[in-house]
Amino acid sequence: MQHALTLPPYGELADPLALVEIAVAAEQAGWDAVFLWDHVLRQPEDPQETADPWVAMAAIATATERVRIGPMVTPITRRRPIKLAREATTLDHLSRGRLTLGLGLGVDTTRELSAFGEIVDPRLRGQRLDEGVELLCAFWSGEEVEFHGEHFVADRVVVLPRPFQQPRIPLWFAARGDARKPVRRAARYDGLYPIEFDERGLAEMLDVVREERGSLDGFDVIARPSTPSEYERFGEIGVTWAVTGPLPGDPGVLELASTAPLDVFRPGT
């Protein structure tokens, strides 16, 4: 199992230099990835300083050599696919193939969609996610793209360069609760990032993935174990990445990053 540190770039962590310092410490301590939350608005009733995760990831990429980086997760509904394709490709080249792109529908719990006039209907957001990722992959092919969807258009364009990673940048998809369509979407790509689940729910999600793919071979499953025994059980049922990280405002982030991953996930072993 691999180990990732996830960081919310708010408050004190809105300082990109602090994020770089933490990522460097995490790499030195043996972590396999440093991921950043991707939100544009948190707690609108109590505004927080917020960093752009994509600019911060670029800084992290230049200061590290081994850890994977990525946004966990980016909602395509508030992005233009061509802009996202360019940013992801550039970051993939900058990091020499260390980008994993997390994608999802997004949420409006803090009005980060509705406050800016974005689409909030979950059905439409799902349609835009499906179209958007299809278009992303077409752009990354390096071939001419002619795409006329319900939500996005690309009229006879070639997008170069191709990503550093081939055949494309790995794509992980968020799935929340007992919804199964997001799990099936994830199964068509490279990884599943479950949110708000219990152990039984996770096992059921992985059954859906097996139905879609035939097996879990070559597929990443991400989870947040909270105890050593949960860590062991998650590994047994197919989890390939254990992630942890602070909530906004939590202290001791640098100390956490400087701790060897197994000392965090499996204390006393």
Q: If you average pLDDT over every residue of the chain, what do you get? A: 95
Where are the domains positioned within the chain?
A: 2-176+243-265
Q: What is the distance of C-alpha 87 from the center of its chain?
A: 14
Per-residue pLDDT at 196 exceeds 90:
no
CA distance 129 to 106: 10
Per-residue pLDDT at 162 exceeds 60:
yes
CA distance 169 to 99: 7
In percent, the amount of the chain with pLDDT more than 90 equals 88
pLDDT the model gives residue 184? 97
Q: What single string gives the DSSP state of each residue in 239-253?
A: --EEEE-PPTT-S-H
> 130-141: per-residue pLDDT in tens?
999 999 999 999
> 43-85: per-residue pLDDT in tens?
777 788 999 999 999 999 999 999 999 999 999 999 999 999 9
The 8-class DSSP code of residue 131 comes to: H
pTM: 0.96
Q: Give the relative orientation of helices 53-63 and 81-94 as an angle to the nearest 10 degrees.
A: 20
Q: Give the pLDDT band of residue 179 (cuts 50, 70, 90).
A: confident
The 8-class DSSP code of residue 40 comes to: S
In percent, the amount of the chain with pLDDT more than 70 equals 99
Q: Which of 227, 137, 151 is nearest to 190 (CA)?
A: 137
pLDDT the model gives residue 249? 86
CATH of domain 2-176+243-265: 3.20.20.30
Dihedral of alpha carbons 11, 12, 16, 20, sign: negative
Q: Where does 127-186 show beta strands of DSSP type E?
A: 145-148, 153-157, 171-176
Q: Give the pLDDT band of residue 268 (cuts 50, 70, 90).
A: low
> 94-111: per-residue pLDDT in tens?
999 999 999 999 999 999
pLDDT the model gives residue 77? 92
Q: Which residues of 247-258 are buried (b: 16+ CB within 10 A; e: fewer)?
A: ebeeeebeebbe
